[in-house]
């Protein structure tokens, strides 16, 4: 179940205990909200991430309560009330907005297709009328030949020359106009499709490349590395104690941590060929397409130092960020997946070693070397403990 019954007896400050049938209904509503959030997509003014967060929040309010409104009611001794009307309004409004967004997008595509169809229909119609005019003039010329009247033949021959010239000039002007109209529609559609492709490849929270884009990029780099005799490296980066950060300071603060880490990584990997992606959750991946392992180690150390200098002020205190890094160079026979797995294994070695350090996976996954960070940094706000996964 998505919710949990409270222990103890019922009272004005505790939620009424649902029956088995109500249990199933609440679980069904929460499941539907979470499924809706997981299937969300970016629209013109709401990101998929925001929709998922809203759906998760409503699922919690429906099942276990929460939010300022629920807290104030319980503290005042009022009966616990689940906001079914509120979730219905949110769900209806969001679906209406998504329907309008999809309708506009499909409308643009339909308009481009209709423009193309109109051009074809107009061209065929104009060609048919022009052909009939030319055919009629040719008929007159044939009649003049049959009469053996030289003056009539000359006159009709001059007439068909004029008709053909007019038809060709009109057809050329019409084709230019239609091509211009089609070109404008196709350009608009291409720009719209390009924007959709770019959004599909980006993580909505950090604006880094997402997991799907990373997987495709890793396979390309691995396939080309041996042909180009390059030596690419992967850095797999995990934010230390991120779950405890969320639990202590709240999810908005956790989101800000992820955004600041993403910005810090982009600043440390400014080369156009460097590829920075959010792998998922609090994990990030950087692909360096051609670098010696030693230079990649130095860049990893700079990342440790740079990110450790980030401080985020919150209403509950200051957050200082540290990360753990696993580094792996591409080995002979590696695929994108096996290459990433070796970096992931090195990352877990760094976490087990106490975090805030780099571990390097050699060609053999079991041979892992450590790098001590430039200075020992202990997070002031985040407590130590086992790795959060």
Choose the most confident range, by mean pLDDT, from 3-7, 136-140, 194-198. 136-140
Three-state DSSP state, 109 = helix
Q: Is-contact 55 37, C-beta < 8 A?
A: yes
Of 240, 381, 241, nearest in space to 313 by CA: 381
Residue 9 has pLDDT above 80, yes or no: no
Catalytic annotation on 282?
A: yes
- Burial of 385: CB neighbours in 10 Å, binned 0-12, 13-18, 19+: exposed
Q: Is-contact 290 231, C-beta < 8 A?
A: yes
For residue 8, give Cα distances in angstroms to 13, 26, 27, 385.
11, 21, 22, 32
Q: Is-contact 325 358, C-beta < 8 A?
A: yes
Q: Rounded mean pLDDT of the chain?
A: 76
Q: What is the per-residue pLDDT across 104-155, written as a single tens digit (0 to 9) for each? A: 766 665 565 555 555 555 555 666 676 777 677 677 767 766 676 677 777 7
Three-state DSSP state, 282 = coil
Q: Is-contact 365 337, C-beta < 8 A?
A: no
E strand or H helix at 243, and its extent?
helix 242-249
Of 156, 282, 283, 349, the catalytic one is: 282
For residue 256, give Cα distances in angstroms to 5, 68, 242, 311, 320.
32, 22, 11, 11, 12
Of 358, 365, 369, 370, nearest in space to 338 by CA: 365
CA atoms within 13 Å, Cβ hemisphere of 71: 3
Q: State what percent of residues in the chain have pLDDT above 90.
A: 30
The pTM score is 0.51
Q: Which CATH number fits domain 211-371: 3.20.19.10, 3.30.70.270, 3.40.920.10, 3.40.50.2300?
A: 3.30.70.270
Residue 164 has pLDDT above 60, yes or no: yes
């Amino acid at each position: 179940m998505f919710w949990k019954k409270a222990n103890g007896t019922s009272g004005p400050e505790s939620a009424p205990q649902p029956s088995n049938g109500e249990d199933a209904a609440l679980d069904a509503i929460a499941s539907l909200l979470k499924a809706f959030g997981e299937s969300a997509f970016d629209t013109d003014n709401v990101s998929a991430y925001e929709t998922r967060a809203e759906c998760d929040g409503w699922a919690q309010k429906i099942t276990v309560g929460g939010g300022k409104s629920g807290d104030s009611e319980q503290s005042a001794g009022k009966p616990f009330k689940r906001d079914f009307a509120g979730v219905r309004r949110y769900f209806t409004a969001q679906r209406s907005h998504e329907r309008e967004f999809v309708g506009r997008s499909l409308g643009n595509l339909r308009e481009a297709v209709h423009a193309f169809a109109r051009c074809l229909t107009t061209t065929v119609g104009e060609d048919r009328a022009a052909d009939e005019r030319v055919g009629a003039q040719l008929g007159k010329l044939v009649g003049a030949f049959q009469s053996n009247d030289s003056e009539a033949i000359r006159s009709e021959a001059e007439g068909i020359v004029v008709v053909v010239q007019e038809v060709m000039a009109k057809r050329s002007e019409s084709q230019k106009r239609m091509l211009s109209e089609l070109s404008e529609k196709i350009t608009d559609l291409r720009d719209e499709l390009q924007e959709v492709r770019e959004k599909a490849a980006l993580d909505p929270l950090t604006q880094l490349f997402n997991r799907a884009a990373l997987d495709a990029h890793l396979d390309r780099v691995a396939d080309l590395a041996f042909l180009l005799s390059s030596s690419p490296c992967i850095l797999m980066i995990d934010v230390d104690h991120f779950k405890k950060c969320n639990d202590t300071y709240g999810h908005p603060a956790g989101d800000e941590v992820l955004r600041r880490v993403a910005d810090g990584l982009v600043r440390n990997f400014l080369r156009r060929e460097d590829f920075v992606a959010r792998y998922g959750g609090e994990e990030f991946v950087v692909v360096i397409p051609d670098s010696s392992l030693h230079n990649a180690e130095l860049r990893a150390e700079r990342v440790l130092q740079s990110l450790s200098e980030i401080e985020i002020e919150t209403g509950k205190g200051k957050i200082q960020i540290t990360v753990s890094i696993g580094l792996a160079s591409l080995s002979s026979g590696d695929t994108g997946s096996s290459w990433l797995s070796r970096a992931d294994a090195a990352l877990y070695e760094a976490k087990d070693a106490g975090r805030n350090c780099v571990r390097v996976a050699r060609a053999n996954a079991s041979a892992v070397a450590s790098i001590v960070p430039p200075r020992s940094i202990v997070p002031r706000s985040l407590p130590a403990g086992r790795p959060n996964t």
